[in-house]
Chain A
Amino acid sequence: MQPLLTVGLLKKYFPLDRGIFSRTKAVVRAVDGVSFELQKGETLGLVGESGSGKTTVGRCILRLIKPTSGDVLFDNMNVTRLPASELKKLRRQMQIIFQDPYGCLTPRLRIRTILKEPLEIHGIGTKADHTDRVVTILRRVGLRPEHMNRFPHEFSGGQRQRIAIARTLMVNPELIIADEPVSALDVSIQAQIINLLVALQRELGLSYLLISHDLSVVHYMCDRIAVMYLGKIVEMTTRSDLYLNPLHPYTQALLSAIPEPNTGPKREKILLGGEVPSPINPPEGCSFHPRCNYKMEACTKVEPLLEGVGDSHWVSCHLR
């Protein structure tokens, strides 16, 4: 079956402004060759720590940022080559939820205005239809119709995130990119929002690209997961496979680092030495080798490629 979203060798380099006198133009290699597919109705998780480039990938897919190179194919449209006039059509099918529920809603507009805006932008329905749709969607995200007359500051963080989700649903998108949708919320509210997102997916046949650093959330919500490190995907596979059989040393360390909320003997922690290196000057060869406990000679010189090992399990590591 044709995937809904195909990302091919996506790269995004940000030039570092060093003033007039710099000789070498330094670049931040935020995304350095990322490829993956997303099927319709699937939830793909993009996991990584700060500097991994996962947020930039999300923005490139929506073309909020222009990629340096690579392709993004969505529903048979080549997003990267789309002229600006066609972008609007695309945006109707692809929506995004952000991390910060306090910053993503215009404080001076009432909820109904915020929610009607997407309909107006895309010219969907008549004015009368708009109000009906707002009511329907508000109910669906667990809020009440009278909430549409209020302002964002009258709501809690969790409620605002619900409004942000409502906003994406207004135009009936196919794909929602959720960039750390619950990281800024309290634990008990996180559960509510996660449940909501899962329920919506079931009801509406949505596909999600979930970008997060929280492995517990990712484990719960995703069908497949891609682990990113310094702008590249180092491992990609199904949920159960990743957690039962992590192959890449970074994935192993990442999983072992998660503090377990239970008693009993704890997992042996794999502690990584050093810090996350800067994406300005990634190490030669495998970008993880300076911190890897298993590094070999080859790792310092040759960059490993993402290769398939077994059933839809991809890893980029010389150990395989």
Chain B
Amino acid sequence: MLRYILNRLIYLFPVLIFMSIVVFLFIHLIPGDPVDYMLGIDATPEARQVLRAELGLDRNIVVQYISWARKIVRGDLGTSIVTNRPVLQSILEKFPATMLLAFAATIISLIIAVIAGTIAAANKGTWKDLGLLLLSLLWVSIPSFWLGIMLILVFSIEFPIFPAIGHVSMFVDFGKSMHHLTLPAITLGATLAGAITRMTRSEMIEQMSKDYVTTARAKGLSRPVVIYKHALRNSLITVVTFTGLQLGTLLGGTVVVEKIFAWPGLGLMVIQSIFARDYPMVQGIVLFFAFTFVFVNLMVDISYTFLNPQIRLGQKG
């Protein structure tokens, strides 16, 4: 098992490096000259030259990358053009809010979707199954901005159950924090829930057709035990993998959801930074998201050691 984890960690580095190159190039592929945006079109060529030199934009692109990468490793993600504060600091301030939201959305979706997918698979072909499939299709298709606004309209304005905007830290007031978290988490998690439902369903259908399930039934075990203890346990690996991969889309979704609910997280900040042409900030946040994604998937890989005994004990079979 240790060997497996070590392997995964080693592979982490080339991935991170490659990702940083991609992020770096992305920013540079945006049309337009950042200097123009920052100074305006009627800036003098000299002023431009000065700023360019300051930002290091006059050097060779490989050199630019290397110097940027060096700074990243030291934790220096640059300085925000708008606030003049270090990017990393701003990110770390806003990160907990986004993490809370993403986490809540994932947990809610996972629990609901896995149960829904299992029920659908266990009742394959019946109305229950069709209904759940349709529902999941709906959740996957509904655009999050529409859903968010609808939820606000119904549950905040029509029936004032949940607050529409704002965020309260967990550590300040847990109850209030959860209250604020509800609508945005549901909005963010909806698409994910639909996708996981379908994934769980198809994986469960496959597992339930396997021989060991027939053996379990032949032992006289009850249907719930066969489904949950035997088949679902084997489906988890695929479901967990899938969820980890969906995190990328989820993080992307925070951009919209945070804007709608005025949730002060990275998503909101990245939008604001894009409009403000705050390149270092945008770059920093994108890089941060990318690294988070890689890190979470590493955790998913490591979780296999708990889910799959063959990996835990080193393949012997």
Q: Which residues of A contact B (CB under 8 A)?
A: 18-22
Contacts and interface: CB of A to CB of B under 8 A. Distances in A.
Contacts of A22: 3
A21 B10 CA distance: 11
Contacts of B10: 20
State the main secondary structure of chain B at its contact with A: helix
12 contacts: A18-B3, A19-B3, A19-B4, A19-B6, A19-B7, A20-B6, A20-B7, A20-B10, A21-B3, A21-B6, A21-B7, A22-B3
Nearest to A16: B315
A22 B4 CA distance: 11
A261 to B, nearest CB: 28
Contacts of B7: 19-21
A167 B20 CA distance: 53
Contacts of A20: 6-7, 10
Interface residues of B, number: 5
List 5 tightest A-B contacts by C-beta distance, closest first: A19-B7, A19-B3, A21-B3, A20-B10, A21-B6
A22 B314 CA distance: 12
Interface in B1-52: 3-4, 6-7, 10
A20 B12 CA distance: 14
A240 to B, nearest CB: 40
A230 to B, nearest CB: 18
Interface of B: 3-4, 6-7, 10
Nearest to B8: A19
B226 to A, nearest CB: 29
Contacts of B4: 19
A304 to B, nearest CB: 29
B100 to A, nearest CB: 36
A201 to B, nearest CB: 39
A175 B178 CA distance: 75
A143 to B, nearest CB: 33
A20 B10 CA distance: 9
Nearest to B4: A19
Nearest to A280: B316
B314 to A, nearest CB: 9
Nearest to B7: A19
A78 B72 CA distance: 58
A146 B165 CA distance: 73
A275 to B, nearest CB: 13
Contacts of A19: 3-4, 6-7
A21 B7 CA distance: 8
Nearest to A22: B3
B13 to A, nearest CB: 12
A22 B10 CA distance: 14
B286 to A, nearest CB: 30
A289 B35 CA distance: 80
Contacts of A21: 3, 6-7
Contacts of B3: 18-19, 21-22
A19 B11 CA distance: 11
A21 B5 CA distance: 11
A220 to B, nearest CB: 33
B1 to A, nearest CB: 12
Nearest to A17: B315
Contacts of A18: 3
Nearest to B317: A278
Nearest to B11: A20
A22 B7 CA distance: 11
B33 to A, nearest CB: 44
A20 B6 CA distance: 9
Contacts of B6: 19-21
A45 B6 CA distance: 47
A18 B7 CA distance: 10
A19 B10 CA distance: 11
B9 to A, nearest CB: 10
Nearest to A21: B3
Given A19-B3, A19-B4, A19-B6, 7 more contacts: A19-B7, A20-B6, A20-B7, A20-B10, A21-B3, A21-B6, A22-B3
A19 B9 CA distance: 12
A21 B3 CA distance: 7
A19 B3 CA distance: 8
